[in-house]
Amino acid sequence: MEELGEGEWRARAASHRARMERWTLPYRERRRRREAHPVEDFLFTYYSLRPQQLERWQPGPGVRLLGDTRGLGRGYRPDGAGVVLDPALLPARLHRTAGFVHGLVTATAGRPARLGCFGLHEWAMVYRTERPRHAAVPLRLGVAGTDAVVEELPISCTHHDAFRFFTAAARPRNRLQPRRADQVALEQPGCLHATMDLYKWAYKLLPATPAELLGDCFALAAEVRELDMRASPYDLADRGYPPVRIETPQGRAEYARAQQGFADRAAPLRERLLALCGQLL
C-alpha cells in the first residue's frame, strides 16, 4: 500500500491537471470561438470523456491518501488515518467492463503488429463521396486522385470502429468486413485506432484508473492521431501537419515505421491496463 500525504497527492493532482491542460484549454477556447480543429478535436468529440474529467486526478487502487480527502468521489473508504479506493464499492458495471477490457487487451497484445494498412481507412472514408468528413479541409490529391489511391492499393483494416465509417463504395474493397462481434478476434497492436482506444479503455474504468495511466494513454493517442491525419488524404500542411505520402513507397515505409514505434510504446500501457483490470476482476 502506497501512502501519500495531502501535500504530495495534491501536488500530483496539480501536475496531472497542468499536463492535460495542454490539450483541454485550447479545446475549450476553440469551443468558445465556435471553431473546429480537424486533428485535435477528435479526442474530445469522438471519445466521450469530458475535459474536466480528463483533468481530474485519481490515485487508483492500492494508494492510501491522507489529509482532507473530501470531494474525491465514490468508491473510497476509510483506511487507517486516510482513505483508499475500494474496488468492491464500485458499480458492478465497472467490473464487467474490466472483464471485457482484460480479454480484448490480452488478445490484442498477443498478436504481432500488422503494418500493411498504411492508414487507408481515412481514404476509404472519402472514397466516391461528395461529403467528406472534414469538408472544410481540401483533399491533397483532389477527388479523382484520392479515389485512384483507394483503387490501386489493397485495404486491410481490422478495426470495426474505423471500418464502420467507410463509404458504401469502399466497404467491399476491404479485405475483411469487421463487425463489432469480431473485435476481440481481430484487433492487433499495429492498428492506430486500437492504440488510440487504450485511452477509451482507461477512462471506461474510472474512477479506478490512476490519473497517470489515463494521461499517458491520452498523450499517446494525441500523437497517434497526428500520424493518422498526416497520412490521410487531407491537406493539413498549412496547419503544421506535413503529409505522410502513403501513395508512394517511401511514404508507406515511413508510415509502417511510425506504426511499429507506436505499437512498441503502447505495449507497456497495455500491461498497465491489464494489471488494473486484474485488481477489478
- Where does the pLDDT of residue 131 fall: very low under 50, low under 70, confident under 90, or very high at 90 and above? confident
Q: Give the span between the Cα atoms of 156 and 21, in whole angstroms.
A: 36
Number of CB atoms found within 10 A of residue 18's CB: 11
Q: Which of 69, 11, 72 lies closest to 206 in space, CA to CA?
A: 72
Report field, pTM of the whole predicted structure over 0.85: yes
DSSP alpha helix (H) spans, the chain:
6-33, 42-45, 51-55, 92-109, 120-124, 142-152, 160-163, 183-186, 192-204, 211-230, 249-280
How many CA atoms does the CB half-sphere of 250 hold within 13 Å?
2
Across 121-143, average pLDDT: 87
Distances (CA, A) of 154 to 86, 96, 123, 173, 250: 49, 37, 12, 8, 17
Range of the domain at 236: 2-280
Q: How does pLDDT run across 107-118, given as a tens digit for each residue?
A: 999 999 999 999
Query: What integer is the mean pLDDT of 11-19?
Result: 97
Q: Measure the CA angle with vertex 132, ends 129 and 134; round to 5°.
A: 175
Write the DSSP assignment of 31-53 as a string of letters: HHHT---TTTTHHHHTS---HHH
The three-class DSSP label of residue 29 is: helix
How many independent structural domains does the chain possess? 1
Say if residues 220 and 139 touch (Cβ distance below 8 Å).
no
Q: How far apart are CA 171 and CA 162, in angstroms?
A: 11
Cα–Cα distance for residue pair 272/274, rounded to 1 Å? 5
Read off the pLDDT of each residue in 212-234 and give the average, rounded to a whole number. Answer: 97
Q: What is the pLDDT of residue 97?
A: 97
pLDDT of residue 71: 83
